[in-house]
Amino acid sequence: MSTSITLDHFKHSEDYTDYAAGQVVFRVGDPDSVMYGVKSGEVEIYFNDRLMETVGPGGIIGEKSLVDDYPHTTTAIAKTDCQLVLVDEEKFLFLVHETPTFAIKVMRIMAARTRAIMRATFP
């Protein structure tokens, strides 16, 4: 599964964290209240040890935990060396305020991922 929605909001960010290929970004059950924007590289998302999606530049991961402040329900692992922009609630609200379409794009990504997991779990 791959979401076709990409966000240009992170490509020029100077505030990012480097992850090496194979490094775990987060695991199922990890508490976290941020989402991550992929500035460069690729990150794989796993649900029940099944690869669900590879997210590249312009994509986001961990958005559900930012929105509902619950632990992660998936595991994210850097497929390649990558740079990820951490988006906390304050930054998220700023992005929504400055670019209202940002929120609908995030919701569309969440919906697509939820549907993919439902299809994989209940074929």
Name beta bridge partners: 43. Answer: 55, 78
Q: Quote the CA–CA distance of 103 and 96 in Å, as a whole number.
A: 6
What is residue 7's predicted lDDT score, i.e. its pLDDT? 62
Q: What are phi and psi of 7, to 5 degrees?
A: -120, 130
Domain boundaries in the chain?
A: 8-116
Sign of the four-CA dihedral 13, 18, 19, 25: negative
Q: Tell me: the pLDDT tens digits for 7-38?
A: 677 777 788 999 999 999 999 999 988 999 99
Q: Tell me: the pLDDT tens digits for 72-95?
A: 999 999 999 999 999 999 999 998
**Whole-prediction pTM:** 0.88
Beta strands across the sheet bearing 75-78:
24-26, 75-78, 43-47, 50-55
Which percentage of the chain shows pLDDT scores above 70? 94
Domain 8-116, CATH number (from 3.40.228.10, 2.60.120.10, 3.40.50.300, 3.30.310.10): 2.60.120.10
